[in-house]
Structure 1
Amino acid sequence: MPKRLLISTLILGIGAIMVSKSHADPKVSSSTLNRDLGYQSSSTGDPVSRRGAQVSISAEQPKASDFGGMIFTTIAEPWTNRVVRVSAVVESKGESAKPWIWLRADGSPGKSLKFATSAGRPLLANGHVSVDLRIPPDAESIAFGVAMRGKGKTSARELRLDVSDYSLPGDEASAEQVYSEALRVVLENAYRPGNLPENLQELKPELSMQPGTGYQAEKPVRALLLQLHDSHSIFRSAEDAYLRSISGGDPRSVSVKLIDGNVGYALMPGVGGSDGELGRRFAVEVDERLMRVNGDARCGWVVDLRRNTGGNMWAMISALGMFFGEEHFGGFKSRDGSVEWWSLRYPSVTEVAGAALAHDAKVAVLLGPRTASAGEAVAVSFVGRENTMSFGAPTRGKATANKRFQLPDGSAIFLTTAVDVDRFGQEIDGAVVPDVLLSEDDVMSSDIPQEALNWLRSSCSSR
């Protein structure tokens, strides 16, 4: 089930609560969700206490589309205008058991105002998971809990509802203020403003001017961005925008190794987050690992971008700096036709010790449909590079530049303001198409295509 549908189903599924019971704290109640579909749950402890609650969920014969779990509800008044966090240490048993936690602010009965979920996010090795939500002033109640899809068991210990360790700007922003600023940003900066209706100002929705209602502008702003038809501009809630600003790539996600004693291999997945210092550390550590292998990679390198879904392009390009020289290797073309060129001297690029060390090495670049956004920018940087050949399938088709614009309530628009061009100034029209097309099986496999290895070794000595 798509994530968006899953979230909608969970919101509506609260109406299927079965077997309510009183909780230890009279201000908190708990219930089992979808007991009639075969889900069992129990809890001990208090989720608003220091030690939290312990929750158990099990299902023996659920349908593939079913989910169930434990729901807690409490009044919103003590939490309004604050960033609230639900956290737990979650463990599941059973191959099909997929757990998550969630948090929702409700207005009048049956009306969901805001929702946050960890669904779709992989569990950390230590099992810790959390979601944050700023509770709006018009919220009347808060619902939160643990849910599971599939057969098996899930346990959550130290499940707690508490005030988060950070605050967000814009508590007093109104929906009208947020939308008006979003409209101004789009009209002044979007790469394709001509796709918008000519009477856009007349179509401006009537939104609340009451303080604290900024969250109500989310749907209208998303609708505005869709009208750009650039397939890349996105809206981020205040919570999401903040957490992305303090996160960065994990160098351990990059695989660097030597293949058969003469070919270097670098798997570069997406790098989430935009924290500058974390991006710098990522680049430096990955560069050090590449340098350790480079001396033995006499037949060249495989740079695998097949799983690269995007993120911070500068962290990735900096990490791969050994493959570039003094030249510019791509750029952003704005709507006025000007080009902002990329090079190792670009202000956002981290200087690494191995820069240009392998600028003349043979490089086989692997691409696929999951290669997207900043991952495509990395792919573009190799287009036209000497001694380079790309293999795989066309990329996602989001070879455009997104710039972050903060809105009055702390939410943000990541707006498409430019398109990528290669080192020759040629605009990338949609997807990056590889030089050598491979079968779907080869593209989706984690194996290195033999075609790429044969090309690298074609001019390499056998010693």
Structure 2
Amino acid sequence: MLHMKKNLLIILVFLFFSCNNNNSAKTYLNSAIDIMEENSIKTENIDWDNLRNTAHKNIEGKKTAEETYSTIENALKELGDNHSFFIPKQPDTIIGESDEIIPSVEAKILNKQIAYLKVPAFNKGGNLANKFATKIQSKIIALDRPEIEGWIIDLSENYGGNMWPMYLGLAPLIGEGISGYFFDWEKNSAEWSFKTNAVYNKEDNKLEIKNPYKLKKKPIKIAILTSGITASSGEAIVIAFKGLSYTKSFGQKTAGLSTGNHVYELSDGAKLILTTTIMADRTKKLYGGQLIPDIPTNNPKAKAIEWLLEK
């Protein structure tokens, strides 16, 4: 009798932990889907009951959070925004900022009177973001000469990252005030702007610089170069120049990721990078897809120079 009770206890303990593990996987998956349903820019277009039921079937027998990762990735693909993604839990590593490399910013004078600035993608935050913004402004300072009649901002290889250091770095050319907006699925908006020495997302100070540069003279013309590589935050910078009377874009259609992502950290440290907003320019014109250049061309730099030199 005692032997039977012992075996029964073992079975009950096994069943308890088995159910608990299964619940753990299901709870983790549900928490991720809840975030998607509440915040996705595509939430009104999704059959959430069907998506959730399909996801639950895919994790039958699964016990851990890690075993739900592929199902979460599939759910994100089902949203159809083409911008959301999932970052699994990463092992703990310590990387000193001194080990990080700030990308180079190409700057030169063309035809003796055109300032050319090529701004690459950048995806770091904190002090490194401030250094990148400062580097861009240092290049603007070097190019800001009396003989300069126009500027070329080359974003053709800028595939995105962190928009704020790019925006702050180029602020002397974009100017103060509102440059664009983020709209969520409920049509709530948050403007992004440059004021004095900082860039803001609504009232949230995203990045600031100690000694912001002011141009010696307002640009007469600014040409923006784009390509199919120009994406995400790169597209945000293209939008920041839209609506300014002295700007024109040249090149190819952009990648079509003119949407905003938000990072949600899950219980185990994995990250859900979810598209929650659509970008709009200073006139509140909505984008969300590819940006079409004013002058479509396979030779954007030459066409831009031609336009800049027109009297």
Task: Settle same-fold status: TM greater than 0.5.
Answer: yes
Higher strand share: 1
CA shift at 1:454, angstroms? 1.3
1:385 to 228, 244, 247: 244
Deviations 1:216-256 (A, max 9, x none): 22111111111111111111122299899x89984442111
CA shift at 1:316, angstroms? 0.6
The answer to whether the Cα contact below 8 Å between 1:420 and 1:428 also exists between their aligned partners in 2 is yes
Distance between the aligned counterparts of 2:217 and 2:47, measured in 1? 49
1:364 corresponds to 2:217: no
SS across alignment from 2:178 = coil
The answer to whether the Cα contact below 8 Å between 2:105 and 2:119 also exists between their aligned partners in 1 is yes
Distance between the aligned counterparts of 2:270 and 2:118, measured in 1? 33
Distance between the aligned counterparts of 1:381 and 1:248, measured in 2? 31
5 Å-filtered alignment, 1:34-53, equals none
1:397 corresponds to 2:248: no
1:354 to 210, 213, 218: 213
Q: Give TM-score scaled by structure 2 length.
A: 0.81
SS across alignment from 1:396 = coil
Number of equivalences: 277
Deviations 1:127-146 (A, max 9, x none): xxxxxxxxxxxxxxxxxxxx
Distance between the aligned counterparts of 1:247 and 1:413, measured in 2? 28
Deviations 1:278-327 (A, max 9, x none): 10111012211211211256211100000010000001111111112222
- Quick check: 231-240 or 351-360, which moved more? 351-360
- Quick check: 416-425 or 177-186, which moved more? 177-186
1:334 corresponds to 2:193: no
1:231 to 79, 82, 88: 82
1:267 to 110, 118, 142: 118
SS across alignment from 2:285 = coil
Give the letter for the 1:363 counterpart.
I
Q: Structure 1 residues 249, 363: CA separation in 2 closer, same or farther (over 3 Å shift)?
A: farther
Partner of 1:301: 151
Distance between the aligned counterparts of 1:430 and 1:313, measured in 2? 17
CA shift at 1:413, angstroms? 1.1
State the identity as a percent. 28
5 Å-filtered alignment, 1:109-188, equals 174-188=24-38
Cα RMSD of the aligned pairs, angstroms, is 2.7
Deviations 1:86-134 (A, max 9, x none): xxxxxxxxxxxxxxxxxxxxxxxxxxxxxxxxxxxxxxxxxxxxxxxxx
Distance between the aligned counterparts of 1:318 and 1:455, measured in 2? 26
Distance between the aligned counterparts of 1:297 and 1:278, measured in 2? 33
Q: Structure 1 residues 214, 310: CA separation in 2 closer, same or farther (over 3 Å shift)?
A: same
The answer to whether the Cα contact below 8 Å between 2:102 and 2:128 also exists between their aligned partners in 1 is no
Deviations 1:195-233 (A, max 9, x none): 3224233333235674xx322221111111111111111
Structure 1 unaligned segments of length 5 or more: list them.
1-172, 444-448
Deviations 1:403-435 (A, max 9, x none): 111111111111111100011000015111110
5 Å-filtered alignment, 1:14-33, equals none
